């Protein structure tokens, strides 16, 4: 069944179990920090140093984190299926678990990009981006993340992937962030669909099998169900 396609949309919930907080939770990383100051183009123009400091701290937390059982279960599914992960997360935990096809809708915290030419990307070899760190064009480097008010450049590619799913999983996301949440509208009607979240209140589609549990618990269960199709 390696030709059957498992597509997985992951959100902050899967990373939270590796110790990375979410900005929507009461105890989240972004608590007390106005999003307008650290996650918008306006915030960057007003105080670039504050934005860099904020993401430097987030990057250090990502480096310390390790993939959990959910990340590992998704990687192991590649032994049986073609697996594509569309993630709203900016961490690299899917890659470190070994997943080979990961599309980051909202960017990657372990990369920097030019403020003059967004196509110029740089994989970071240090924990920090600081004022004065410049690309070869001479412009200041910024985090390679999609801020509020910016376009999501990989959305068309994500839609194409979702539309090719034989099996579709939604893991650890509230489905409140758009345009990412709209991806479920592009999944084929005959795909077998799963929704895994401890508080699955954001889904009104009855075609999904709902597992009201954590990613590290629910994803291995669903992975086991899909592997049983090989029997």
Active site residue 106: yes
Q: What burial class does residue 32 get, using C-beta atoms within 10 Å of its C-beta: 0-12 exposed, 13-18 middle, 19+ buried?
A: exposed
Rounded CA-CA distance 222/74 in Å is: 10
Rounded CA-CA distance 39/147 in Å is: 5
DSSP H helical segments within the chain, as ranges? Answer: 12-16, 35-38, 41-46, 48-64, 69-76, 93-97, 155-162, 215-228
DSSP H helical segments within 39-166, as ranges? Answer: 41-46, 48-64, 69-76, 93-97, 155-162
Rounded CA-CA distance 135/116 in Å is: 9
Annotated catalytic residue, options 5, 106, 144, 186: 106
Cα 57 to Cα 3, 15, 123, 128, 178, distances in angstroms: 41, 16, 17, 8, 26
Rounded CA-CA distance 68/202 in Å is: 24
Rounded CA-CA distance 184/194 in Å is: 11
Contact in structure between 95 and 170 (CB atoms under 8 Å): no
Show which residues are catalytic. 106
């Amino acid at each position: 069944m390696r030709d059957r396609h498992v597509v997985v949309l992951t959100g902050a919930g899967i990373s939270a179990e590796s110790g990375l907080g979410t900005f929507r939770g009461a105890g989240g990383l972004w608590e007390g920090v106005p999003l307008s100051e650290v996650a918008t183009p306006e915030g960057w123009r007003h105080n670039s140093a504050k934005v860099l400091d904020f993401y430097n701290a987030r990057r250090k937390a990502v480096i310390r984190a390790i993939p959990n059982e959910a990340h590992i279960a998704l990687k192991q599914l590649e032994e049986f299926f073609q697996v594509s992960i569309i993630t709203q997360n900016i961490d690299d935990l899917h890659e470190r678990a070994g997943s080979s096809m990961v599309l980051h809708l909202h960017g990657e915290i372990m990369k920097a990009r030019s403020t003059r030419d967004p196509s110029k990307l740089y994989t970071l070899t240090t924990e920090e981006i600081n004022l004065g760190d410049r690309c070869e064009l001479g412009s200041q480097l910024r985090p390679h993340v999609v801020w509020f008010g910016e376009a999501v450049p990989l959305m068309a590619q994500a839609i194409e992937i979702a539309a090719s799913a034989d099996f579709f999983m939604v893991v650890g996301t509230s489905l409140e962030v758009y345009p990412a949440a709209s991806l479920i509208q592009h999944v084929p009607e005959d795909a077998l669909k799963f929704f895994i979240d401890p508080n699955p209140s954001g889904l009104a589609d009855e075609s999904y099998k709902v597992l009201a549990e954590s990613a590290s618990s629910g994803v291995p269960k669903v992975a086991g169900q899909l592997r049983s199709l090989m029997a």
